[in-house]
Amino acid sequence: SQWGEENLQALSIQEGEDVTMNCSYKTYTTVVQWYRQKSGKGPAQLILIRSNEREKRSGRLRATLDTSSQSSSLSITGTLATDTAVYFCATDAQGKLIFGQGTKLSIKP
Amino acid sequence: GPKVLQIPSHQIIDMGQMVTLNCDPVSNHLYFYWYKQILGQQMEFLVNFYNGKVMEKSKLFKDQFSVERPDGSYFTLKIQPTALEDSAVYFCASSPDWGASAETLYFGSGTRLTVL
């Protein structure tokens, strides 16, 4: 597998709290993408971060990438109930994306 | 944003039958993909397709699977014959280009396939 075992987890937090999700990968990549999948839908990209960026922000989202430790994180500040979803990180592998196990995030209103 | 449409949203068939899953990718996209997701699990790559040809397929893409996009119409995944373990949600995705670095994939809402 391209992914570390710590990717699979479920988180449940109160609305308004901040959250950070982590993933680690085994094989070399220059790009990590984060996707969100809501119930009954396909994944939708949130952030694409390249190895020369280390950190990227989009609204309430912040992604980091550490190529030396082969890990990435996605933080959401001020979570909303609508942030409830499964969050996947994905690496590019020669013309395709390989997804991690995902984090199931539940936001309690 | 760009929309990928998948038809049908649900399909129930008997084991051994043939099934075709249809995908209408974003109109100017060049790369097409199928992914398989068993309930509650990760997205698993099946195959990617460019310029009328399969570029790469995974171990999950069994001999019973085939893909095509005749004359720019639907991008299809055909399974013949189906097996019980083919029950899953199948997601189609497309991207405008791949080039030297990764691009965003745009996913449809999936087709839930149930093989009885």
Q: What is the pLDDT of residues B38-75, one digit of tens each?
A: 987 889 999 999 989 999 999 999 999 999 998 878 99
- Which domains are assigned to chain A? 5-108 (2.60.40.10)
Amino acid B69: pLDDT = 94
Give backbone dihedrals phi and psi of B84, rounded to 5 degrees, phi first: -55, -35
Find the closest chain B residue to A90 by CA distance: B43
pLDDT for A7 beyond 50: no
A36 within 8 A of A44, measured Cβ to Cβ: yes
Of the pLDDT bands very low, low, confident and very high (cuts 50, 70, 90), residue B24 is: very high
> What's the pLDDT score for residue A8?
60
**Beta bridge partners of residue A33, listed in sequence order:** A48, A90
Q: Which residues of A touch B33 (CB under 8 A)?
A: 96-97
Which tens digits make up the pLDDT trace of B105-116?
999 999 999 999
CA A67 vs. chain centroid, Å, equals 15
pLDDT band at B101 (very low <50, low <70, confident <90, very high): low
Work out whether the CA dihedral B4, B5, B10, B11 comes out positive or negative. Answer: negative
**Tokens 């999950």 -> residue:** B60
**Spatial separation of the C-alpha atoms in residues A56 and A76, rounded to whole Å:** 12
Q: Does A41 touch chain B (CB under 8 A)?
A: yes
Shortest CB distance from A97 goes to which of B4, B101, B102? B102
Tens of pLDDT, residue by residue over A39-95, are 999 999 999 999 899 899 999 999 999 989 999 999 999 999 999 999 999 998 777
Domain that holds residue B70: 5-115
Query: Looking at beta carbons, which residues of chain A come within 8 Å of B106?
Result: 45
Query: Quick one: pLDDT at residue A4?
Result: 47
What is the distance between the alpha carbons of residues A76 and B79, in angstroms, rounded to a whole number? Answer: 40
Residue A6 in this model has a pLDDT that exceeds 50: no
Taking the CA atoms of residue A43, residue B37, residue B65 and residue B87 in that order, the dihedral angle to the nearest 10 degrees is -140
Domain count along chain B: 1
Q: What is the pLDDT of residue A5?
A: 41
- Nearest alpha carbon to residue B75 among B43, B115, B38, B29: B29
Nearest-angstrom CA–CA distance, B109 and A43: 8
Is B69:B80 a contact under the CB 8 Å cutoff?
no
Query: What's the rounded Cα separation, in Å, for the pair B109 and B39?
Result: 14
Closest CA to B93 of B44, B39, B40: B44
The pLDDT mean for chain B works out to 92
CATH number, domain with residue B9: 2.60.40.10
Given a contact cutoff of 8 angstroms between Cβ atoms, the answer to whether B38 and B60 are in contact is no
- Which phi-psi region, left, alpha or beta, contains residue A97 (left: φ > 0; alpha: ψ -120 to 50)? beta
